[in-house]
A and B are shown apart, each in its own frame.
Chain A
Amino acid sequence: MLEVRSIAKRYGDVLALTDLTVDVGERSCLVLLGRNGAGKTTALRCMAGVLAPSAGTVRVDGIDAASEPAAVRARVGLMPELPGLYERMSARAYLDYFGAIYEMAPDVRKRRIDELLDLFELTDAGDRWLGTFSKGMRQKVALIRATLHRPRLVLADEPTSALDPDSARRAWAYLKDLQAHGCALVICTHNMEEAEHLGASDGGDAAIGIMSAGRALAIGNMSSLRARSGLPVRSEMRELPTLQDIYLAVISNHSGNHQHELAESRSA
């Protein structure tokens, strides 16, 4: 799905990215880790056909990003770190606008927008201006926008950084569902727990890339990275449930009771 061969990107005197080679197949996932300024965002922009690499090639679904960048962008869903929403537009109108840009038929995009707003519990807020949305709600809208057109490749920069654990779990479940339907994922994150969790998915075959100063220092699945690290492999006993498990259980119990109360009050 995504073939990146020895790409480099130079901004004037600054070499932001150098010699990056990765392959991400259908239903596969690549997690990019790295400090700020490591070149992750530049790598995503090159993979998305937004920036042309100074050297090397990027192919998405067999299409060369240098010769047909618009065709590549049509197949990609890029979610930048900042949501970049129009403040004076409702969520529905905003998503409809991007659906139209991606040439989705009006009835198809309406159905999909309703479905995704419902999935991310934004149906009631759908007609409110985006300027009134919380940080987490904005990130959900950005994720919906990036995936509205069912892209073949999703490139997401910190997709859940502003989400509460429940919403984050929902977002990951949604991304995994897209992946199960043939989509490839490239995710940038600083959250090691999330990265490890993603790395452990796909039967532990998801690739993890560690970047620094524009270079990919190590790429491989979790077990190969463990082996290459030279660090002693050990097991750790953890007391379960974790705080996150407890939080999610409390929230879901509360939501269940709340729904039950709502249903009872409606029937009364």
Chain B
Amino acid sequence: MSWLNLDRRKAQLVAARDLRDAISELRLILAMVGLTIAIPLACAIGVRGLALYGGGTSVVNRLSVVGAFFVVFIPASFSLVLALESFVGERERTTLEVLISTPLKEAEIYAGKVAAVLAISLTLCYGGLAVYCLAVFPGLGYFPLDVLIALALSTICQVAAMVAGAVIISLNARTMRAANVMASFIILPMSVALQTEAALILLGRTEFLWGFAGLMLALAAILLRMGLNGFSREALLARDSGLHRPLQRAANALRASFQRRPGILRLLWWRRTALLVAAVGLPAGAAAGYVAGITGAIPAPVVRPALSTLIAAAGGGSQLDQALAIISHNLLAILLVAPLALITAGLSGFLLTFLPGFLLGFAASQSSWSIALTGIVPNGLVEIPVAIIAGGLALQIGAATIHMEASGGWTARVLAAGADYVRALRWLVPALIVAAVLEVRFG
């Protein structure tokens, strides 16, 4: 399924019906009025009142931006409810079954429904933001256009991410009750993202907000693509069957994921692209760390504690104690990378090589490359390949997580990638022990 063979007119038909349906609900109309007029005005009155009755300029300025964040945040979260209703609600009421029995392509139904939810949510967000801006900023002597644009962009992405997340839920939930429970998988990470955004707004660094908006854009693109690939007739109808004995099915799936997997050398050949990406992380990190160090983009006092912690991790005491400390530190890193890959789309796998590279490069910028490299030899000769293999396999887990197909099989693919990682540990853990011994004896 792709956007290329999408008949826009048919997608518009679906979108228009969904829009009509949404605005025929009196409760929704009341919510719309409240979100776009009442709440923004209440926020604006608060900010203006503070400005009028002696709030300091910097406090009022910051608060005016936080108010804008608050005004768009509530309607943005509303989009999840709308999307769940549009996809899962229709599935529960069997209207989606009727729609998919027509000549409409999945992409047309998906695009139409997503467009309708986006249109309503963004109208609420931007309507509220416009009302708020008109009520707060005239006469205030402060208008942070760049912050507001970054906020508006990240809002589109947050809404799109939540809508796409709701589609993915709709493929796995047949009732609104189940969907509401599963929605916590979207609400929790999104609340972390929103708190981060709020912190960045309070920090007042626009470039960080743009970076955040960029991350949100990437997340929204990944989730929308997952939703598009997974939204299929087969997925919507076929999963109605065979859901009995869930624990036994889960155990069978887990067992199956370990069967017929390749040996370590064949696995490394199969995953060569992911391993290459992980391998590139090390020199890329080293270059980034070196540039950050010599340009002063990141002050040395920020990175030094991390370097000191790493050195301290080796601990004191006997050689055995040191070796155990190094092994446990490295083991923890490679054990955490795999589960984190599930929720970071494999980014943790890349960071497993990028971050040590960054610290190496930064250390080189503060001294020299020869001194910095001395710190990782000879143990690095073993640790670096281990990090590349673990990072590459974690990247593969992330890739499996964000890849959906119309024919299904998502769980089997993610489990197989996880099983590959677990099986590779049989080689990686002994290698880490060797590296620790090398570091203690010769490092």
Interface residues, chain A, with chain B CB atoms under 8 Å away: 11-14, 16, 45, 48, 50-52, 70-71, 73-74, 76, 78, 80, 82-89, 97-98, 100-102, 142, 145
Contacts and interface: CB of A to CB of B under 8 A. Distances in A.
A129 to B, nearest CB: 9
Contacts of B105: 70
B103 A50 contact: no
Contacts of A48: 101
A52 B232 CA distance: 11
Interface of B: 10, 13, 17, 20-21, 24-25, 93-98, 100-105, 233-234, 237-242, 249
A74 B17 CA distance: 20
Contacts of A101: 10, 13, 102-104
B255 to A, nearest CB: 14
Contact of A16 (B21, B104, B234, B241): B241
Given A48-B101, A89-B20, 20 more contacts: A11-B239, A11-B240, A11-B241, A12-B238, A12-B241, A12-B242, A45-B101, A45-B237, A50-B100, A50-B101, A51-B234, A70-B105, A74-B103, A80-B94, A84-B94, A84-B96, A97-B13, A101-B13, A102-B102, A102-B103
Contacts of B100: 50
Closest 8 CB pairs of A and B: A11-B241, A84-B98, A14-B242, A84-B94, A74-B103, A78-B101, A12-B242, A82-B94
Contacts of A45: 101, 237
B102 A98 contact: yes
A51 B102 CA distance: 12
B436 to A, nearest CB: 45
Contacts of A70: 103-105
Given A88-B24, A101-B10, A51 B104 contact: no
27 contacts: A11-B241, A11-B242, A13-B249, A14-B241, A14-B242, A45-B237, A50-B233, A50-B237, A51-B233, A73-B103, A74-B103, A80-B98, A82-B94, A82-B97, A83-B94, A84-B96, A84-B97, A85-B98, A86-B95, A88-B21, A89-B20, A98-B102, A100-B13, A101-B10, A101-B103, A102-B102, A102-B103
B265 to A, nearest CB: 33
Nearest to B18: A86
Contact of B17 (A14, A73, A97): A97
B101 A80 contact: yes
Contacts of A142: 98
A85 B241 contact: no
B46 to A, nearest CB: 37
A38 B356 CA distance: 60
A101 B101 CA distance: 11
A11 B238 contact: yes
A88 B233 CA distance: 25
Nearest to B238: A11
A52 B25 CA distance: 37
A142 B98 CA distance: 9
A113 B47 CA distance: 56
Nearest to B14: A101
A12 B252 CA distance: 12
Nearest to B243: A12
Nearest to A88: B24
A80 B95 contact: no
B234 A52 contact: yes
Contacts of B241: 11-12, 14, 16
B21 A86 contact: yes
